[in-house]
Structure 1
Amino acid sequence: MEFGAWPHVRGDLASARQNASAFLDGLLPECDRTQLARQSWGATWAGTGDAYCRLADLNIKKKEYDEATEAWLCALTAFEVARRLVADDDPRRAHVTAKVEAGLHKIGLSFGHEVESARIACGDLGEFLAYYLPAGTPNSRAPAVICVSNEEETGVTLLGRLLPVVIGLGMSLLVVSHENIANHTRGGSEIVLSHCLDHLSVRPDVDSSRIGIYGDGLSASLATEYAAYDRRIAAAVCDGGIWNWTRSLRSIEWMTSTDDSTDRDMVSGHRSRLARLPNCPILVVAGGRGLVSVCEAIKLQTVCMAARIDVDLVMPQLIRGLGEGVDNFVSSDGCIFSWLKQKLAPPPERVVG
């Protein structure tokens, strides 16, 4: 394949992400049958990330801060590709993750404003550390998104993946770890997330009427529950209630012992009720490494279209090979945040006269 650790990398973020996306789309199962092949590609992309880091350091010495920023963002993208190729139990995975964290600390030197550490106090539930990335528009109130990592990653890892996507979109991020949200008794996750939204709402650089939520992996279910709980949420990237729906499906099948058409009507009505719970537009990520199957997502969207419920789908490609599949996070993240930008855009100004 033609993608590798380029000997002369250029700090061009758009090209770097296009190359990463093309590599992931071209990673056929037959290229991934052995642990050795996967480790080799992981090492290649980690080396590419290191090359971008060296370029960023060189640009900082030359006081070319914009170029240094772009090189750091290219490095974060390369490290994320490497991290997904390396096996979970491989020590090199932790090494690549550490490079992502180091890059996030250094990027403030060229980015103009550093990622802020935010302590979210949740009353009797304690407090936890989150990460706030300002939109970079200090003279205006920007939309913001609460981003919850998947169950296998930390907030720092998710921030490293999303930072190259959101640059220039004019939205702020508050990134939190799944474990800080999910490890509570029933109803606790909604309370914790409401404190996250409260934290954003009082910031002078955030438009409190344009705050969304994005749940990655199992956190997609938490995002659905929170969007239904807190009517202040303006858009949600979630599972549309499918996780809870599949858990209750057996109960519905047991209860409906009548003819198939009655079963279908009850199932369809249940899907519609679940999707109506959030009082905002929702985007369901189906397939890939997420928890929502493409089949269930399409059924949900069909029911919602008939009921005029605002539900969209994004379906990242998943390349299945050795161990877990590798999804094209570059294209799926791009679709997710393009959708969020659209849904969190300010309402058009009314023309008087």
Structure 2
Amino acid sequence: MLCAAWPHVRSDLASTRRDAAAFLGNLEGVYGAKSRQSWVQRWTDIADAHCLVGDLDVEKGAFDEAAEAWLCALTAFEVARRLVDEDDPQSGNVSAKVEAGIQRFGSLERKVERVQLACDDTAEFLAYYLPAGRSHLPTPAVVCISSEEETGVTLLGRLLPVVVGRGISVLAVSHDDLSNHWRDQANFLLSCCLDYLSGRPDVDAARIGVSGEGLSAVLATDFVLSDRRVAAAVCDAGLWNWARTLASVAWIARTADEIDEAVPSAHRSRLVRQMKCPVLVVAGGRGIVSATEAIKLQAECEVARIDLELAMPQMARTPVGDIENFVTSDDCIFGWLEHKLARSSVR
């Protein structure tokens, strides 16, 4: 099967990510050409071929080329993971290969560190730290919280290819490690993450951001409001709780449309007005807020001169559900973080 994958093995990460983005962008058109399992196998074979190239590069002492090959493999594995059904035996196989790919990459000079964060006598959890690289100066860093559907390892495997070369360090944490606590406790755990990053000599403590996906976007919002050290945030800006409030009131009053129109716009943006850093809201796709509400909030923030931007992931509708073009989404999110943390805009 690997022989068929060789024509798709490109020599650089940028080409691999372009190919993956193009495939996901045209997924609606090509999905029916093969079975779901066939596409999963194809992208797994492409990833395996990249791993083989990386292993051969290591034998030749070409470590930079090996690292790039393994990052290409992680991108291809993530495409396969998006396509595979959770109940399919291939799912566990792909996840195991993602972890093996991270270990391969981490075996080189730029190591991925497993960090056991102990906040107090009762709270301890595992995180994964990727340093920004070979810079001699402190660099920005981002605490990345996985979605409720991802582990910290899975998140790291997806993010490694997009953060490499951006000059940003990443601390990846699992949603489950935070969501099992009360809100104040979750904020305390995230503050411990900031404490850890601030204490590292390779991190600029004034340029630390936070990024939450799925329900973790709510955790990120709560954290930004509780810890003013955050310099940029990818979060829901309070829209999920706002939608729940509207739904509850509408259910009681049985007048959803009237209530929505009657609510002052300032109330919708109440939480984001309390934030002291730039905000990016992801609507649709991995986001948990509706595009309609996010667009309203962005318009209100523009009038109020609040630094809030909106990202809407490209989605493909398939017989098994919507599949997000994670390549373009991640590039958008980390491009925004790179820009905002470069100048550390604080309102």
Which TM-score band applies after superposition, normalised by the shorter structure? Answer: over 0.9
> Residue 243 of structure 1 corresponds to which residue in structure 2?
240
Q: How does 1:136-155 map to 2 (within 5 A)?
A: 136-155=133-152
Q: How does 1:144-293 map to 2 (within 5 A)?
A: 144-253=141-250, 264=261, 266-293=263-290
TM-score of the pair, normalised by structure 2: 0.93
Could you tell me which runs of 5 or more consecutive residues in structure 2 were left unpaired when the two chains were aligned: none
Q: Cα 1:94–1:277, aligned 2, differ >3 Å: closer, same or farther?
A: farther
Q: Cα 1:347–1:317, aligned 2, differ >3 Å: closer, same or farther?
A: closer
Q: 1:123 aligns with which of 120, 125, 130?
A: 120
Query: Shift in Å at residue 256 of structure 1?
Result: 8.3
Identity %: 57
> Residue 24 of structure 1 corresponds to which residue in structure 2?
24
Query: Shift in Å at residue 108 of structure 1?
Result: 2.6
Over the aligned positions, Cα root-mean-square deviation in angstroms equals: 2.2
Query: Shift in Å at residue 277 of structure 1?
Result: 2.7
SS of equivalent residue, structure 1 residue 279 = coil
SS of equivalent residue, structure 1 residue 130 = strand
Q: Cα 1:61–1:253, aligned 2, differ >3 Å: closer, same or farther?
A: same
Could you tell me which runs of 5 or more consecutive residues in structure 1 were left unpaired when the two chains were aligned: 349-353
- CA–CA distance in structure 2, aligned partners of residues 31 and 345 of structure 1: 39
- CA–CA distance in structure 1, aligned partners of residues 337 and 260 of structure 2: 35
SS of equivalent residue, structure 2 residue 144 = strand
- CA–CA distance in structure 2, aligned partners of residues 108 and 152 of structure 1: 24
> Residue 37 of structure 2 corresponds to which residue in structure 1?
39
- CA–CA distance in structure 1, aligned partners of residues 343 and 297 of structure 2: 28
State the number of aligned residues: 342
For residues 197-243 of structure 1, give each alpha carbon's deviation from its aligned partner in whole angstroms, at most 9, with x where no partner exists.
11111111111100000001110111011011110000000111111
> Residue 328 of structure 2 corresponds to which residue in structure 1?
331
- CA–CA distance in structure 2, aligned partners of residues 83 and 295 of structure 1: 29
CA contact (8 A) 2:186 2:219 kept: yes
For residues 171-199 of structure 1, give each alpha carbon's deviation from its aligned partner in whole angstroms, at most 9, with x where no partner exists.
10000000011110232111110111111
- CA–CA distance in structure 2, aligned partners of residues 206 and 289 of structure 1: 28
TM-score of the pair, normalised by structure 1: 0.91
Query: Shift in Å at residue 323 of structure 1?
Result: 2.5
> Residue 67 of structure 2 corresponds to which residue in structure 1?
69
- CA–CA distance in structure 1, aligned partners of residues 252 and 175 of structure 2: 34
- CA–CA distance in structure 1, aligned partners of residues 296 and 73 of structure 2: 39
- CA–CA distance in structure 2, aligned partners of residues 339 and 191 of structure 1: 26
For residues 282-336 of structure 1, give each alpha carbon's deviation from its aligned partner in whole angstroms, at most 9, with x where no partner exists.
0011111321221111111111111111110111111121223110000000000
> Residue 351 of structure 1 corresponds to which residue in structure 2?
none
CA contact (8 A) 2:206 2:344 kept: no
- CA–CA distance in structure 2, aligned partners of residues 155 and 50 of structure 1: 22
- CA–CA distance in structure 1, aligned partners of residues 192 and 79 of structure 2: 33
- CA–CA distance in structure 2, aligned partners of residues 8 and 169 of structure 1: 26
1:60 to 2:58 alignment: yes
- CA–CA distance in structure 2, aligned partners of residues 212 and 339 of structure 1: 11
- CA–CA distance in structure 1, aligned partners of residues 57 and 328 of structure 2: 28
Q: How does 1:89-104 map to 2 (within 5 A)?
A: 89-104=87-102
- CA–CA distance in structure 2, aligned partners of residues 337 and 155 of structure 1: 17
Runs of at least 4 residues off by over 2 Å: 4-8, 30-34, 250-258, 260-267
